[in-house]
Every structure is written in structure tokens, then in C-alpha cells.
Amino acid sequence: MGDRRYFGTDGIRGRANSHPMTPEVALRVGLAAGRLFMSSDDRRHLVVIGKDTRLSGYMIEPALVAGFASAGMDVRLFGPLPTPGVAMMTRSMRADIGVMISASHNNYADNGIKLFGPDGYKLSDQVELKIESMMDQALGEGLAPPDKLGRVKRIDDAQARYVEIAKASFPKSLNLSGLRIVVDCANGAAYKVAPTALYELGAEVFEIGVEPNGVNINAECGSTHPDQLAESVRLHRADVGIALDGDADRVIICDEKGQVVDGDQIMALVALDWAQRGLLVGGGVVATVMSNLGLERALAAAGLSLERTKVGDRYVMERMREGGFNVGGEQSGHIILHDHATTGDGLMSALQVLAVLVASGRRMSDLARQFEPVPQKLVNVRYAAGKPLEDAKVKAAMADAEATLTAAGGRLLVRPSGTEKLIRVMAEGDDEALVKKMVDQVAAAVKAAG
């Protein structure tokens, strides 16, 4: 992954109007991906493009459109639509490629470009590298002749189609009538679709984060700032709160008392319910190395496995497809329900939690603690240069901490951040003091080396 110039773990991402998040790079992405996905037959080729509510979307979108259209590809623009909605519509409209313009849970100053193949899945590393290798070609190469340029149209019913698909994932025999739900849309891509879907399924909906102005996406709201949601749930005496992030591929739930429920608890809730109803396939759940040991133990107690991947929802999805799993995700609230979606979908995950809530007749606070989390501590250590993880003293500190924690039934995880000069040191185990001591020991060694 070190040789990538544009693509990171989740598409291309950066600060708006600085490299690589510039109109020029967007134009080159459109040209390269357009050329790569144009097959030799003479049918019309199609790309669909959605975005969140960032101000810079108005700059990135036309540049992408120009690139794709000049490669000869027809373009359909959805406007604001959740990332999973773009993935779905790519497949549903038989497009050759789908694009989402979003930096997910980051603040408005960042933006990103995510690409989906015709099957609705994120592109593989190999295809991304192929696009990268074509992006630095001269801009005049491989252009369509004047009569073969792509045509561009806005699609007005994309949101309505996504709402219907989301509602169809909710069990037919149930509805949400009588439930008071607060939904926080992070002033992002789901600001119309999420409240609509919940209302049409029968809920009484209190909405926040539904007034995007281009710069307030994820600002003190959404799944990364659940305080406002918790406060609103208590204020409206709601049964449950749902917070999405800026592109609505993540969800955090809060119970009627305003207590936050993370992705690990949501995965446990859905997986154990599905297992009981004979809907879980693969015999377990796929999660990342960050998921709590408590989740692993709760699943094991029910005879289910927890398979771990490296951090990133694309790696979770790859493992799910390989092993035939239908539930997976990340502690951060990226939940992938493969029966319904090809990528993390905050709204659909929330609907599955609501289905358990309605069918069980219990309160959200009873369902929210599927397991007691094992004490977990994470420290991010900044470094200036070099490779601190290759330092002999750091290696020795890690080996010592790992041996100590493993002997006590815990674990250590040390990994470099994919986007910043940070080393993340995480440990967990039943002995909180020991966990803290080992994390501090490794973090101090990294600091000294960096």
C-alpha cells in the first residue's frame, strides 16, 4: 500500500482544494476510470455519481463529470445520497461504475472520492492501482470523438428509490408505530432519506442535523459527536436515538437513557438475534482487530466465531465475501449486512436494531448491553520521521507487553495510522491497571524512538 500516490484505505481523500483533492485530480480520476471501464463494445457506458453536503462537492462533481464525459461515458447525478445508496444504485441502474464524493465522518474542509464497481462493491486494490497508473497520462490522451461524448443528466428520484430499498430491508410483519425516535443526520447525505424512511415505517420522528449549509457536516453532530443525540433523546423522552455520519455508512445508537451503544454492541445484537432466527450465515461475524474482546467472548458463548481483519470496512467486506458471512463491521459503527447491502449502511443497520427492539417488546437499554466490554485503552503517538516500529527498543517493549498481556488473557495491537504520522497503541484485558501500564510502556518506547 506504500506505493499508492492517490488512493488510501478508502478512496482518495484530502483537504479540499489542496492536492490530491483538487479539480485537476478529480478530472484525472474521471478520465482514467472512464477509459478503464469503457469496454470495446459500442453500447452506451454509464457512471452514476452521488455526494454528501460539503461545499467542495460543487467543485469536485463538475470536474469528475468533465473527465467521464470526455472519455465518452454517460453520467447520472444523484445529488446528496448516502454512500450505500450510491453503491446500490450503481448495481440497480446497471452502471459501469459508481462514484461517491465524500470524506465520510471528517469535517467539511476535507473531501474524498470513492469508487464502486458495477457489482456495487468498492474497487479492489488492483483496480485502484490500475486507475492510478493511468491518472498521470497526458490529459489529451484517449479522449472520445465529438460525436461520442457522454451525456449528463440529474436523476431526481434517487433518494426515493433508496428509501424504498431501505424500507424493504425491515421485516414485513413489523412496523415502527408507537416508537419515538430521534435521528441525527450529521447535516450530511442522509438528511432527507433517513427521517423519511423512519416516518414511513410508522415512527414518530424527531430530527436533528438536517439543515446542511455546506460547512456544518459532522460539526458537533452525527455519529462522531453523540452528545447532542443523547441530550435530544432525553429531552423528547424518545425510545431510541440514531446518529449517522456525514455519508451515512456508519451508525451509533443511543438508548432511552441517553447511553451510547457502539458498533460492537450493535453487531452482537444483530448477530445473536439472527442466529436465533436461523438467519445468520457463516457461523459468526467478521470484525476488525479493534473490536472488543467482550464481543468475541459473547459470540463464542453462543457457539459463534469472530473473524478479525485489518482496519477498514473494505477488508471486512472482502473477508465476508470469501467466507460467506452476512454480518460484519467495525466498532466505529460501520456495520455491513450482506443480505441487504454491499457496503456499510447506517440506516439499514439501524432498522435491524429497531426490528429487534419492536419484536422483543423490550426497552433499548435492556438490549444495548449484549456484553460487558473488556477494559480497552488506545493511545496515539505522533512521530516526526523514520519508522519507529523497526526500532530495537520499541520491538523489545512490544514483545514484553504482548507476552504479559497474552498470559493474562488480553492482547496488544500496535499499528501505524493509514492517513497520518501516528502509531496507534491499543491493549485490552480484564486487568485495567495492567492494560494501562502496558500501553504506556509501549507508547513511551515509540515516543523515544520517533
Catalytic residues: 104
Phi and psi at 197, nearest 5°, equal -60, -45
Strands 152-154 and 74-80: parallel
- What is the C-alpha to C-alpha distance for residues 377 and 436, in angstroms, rounded to an integer? 7
- What is the C-alpha to C-alpha distance for residues 9 and 249, in angstroms, rounded to an integer? 15
Amino acid letter, residue 160: A
Cβ-count burial of 396 within 10 angstroms (0-12 exposed, 13-18 middle, 19+ buried)? exposed
Closest CA to 48 of 92, 105, 111: 92
**Which residue stretches of 4-96 are H helix?**
23-37, 57-70, 83-92
Cell digits of residue 120? 456495487
Residue 250 region by backbone torsions, left for phi larger than 0, else alpha for psi between -120 and 50, else beta:
beta
Sequence-ordered list of residues with C-beta below 8 angstroms from that of 321, at least 6 positions apart, any chain: 121, 338
Q: What long-range pairs does 20-27 form, CB within 8 A, spacing at least 24?
A: 21/56, 21/60, 21/110, 21/111, 21/112, 23/59, 23/60, 23/62, 23/63, 24/63, 25/135, 26/59, 26/60, 26/63, 26/64, 26/67, 26/113, 27/63, 27/64, 27/66, 27/67, 27/139
Give the three-class secondary structure for 264. helix
Sequence-ordered list of residues with C-beta below 8 angstroms from that of 104, at least 6 positions apart, any chain: 10, 83, 112, 245, 246, 247, 249, 250
Give the three-class secondary structure for 330. coil
Residue 177 region by backbone torsions, left for phi larger than 0, else alpha for psi between -120 and 50, else beta:
beta
- DSSP category for residue 241: E
Cell digits of residue 107? 469535517
Cell digits of residue 97? 461504475
Task: Find out whether 26 and 67 touch, Cβ atoms under 8 Å.
Answer: yes
**Cell 467482550, located at residue:** 294
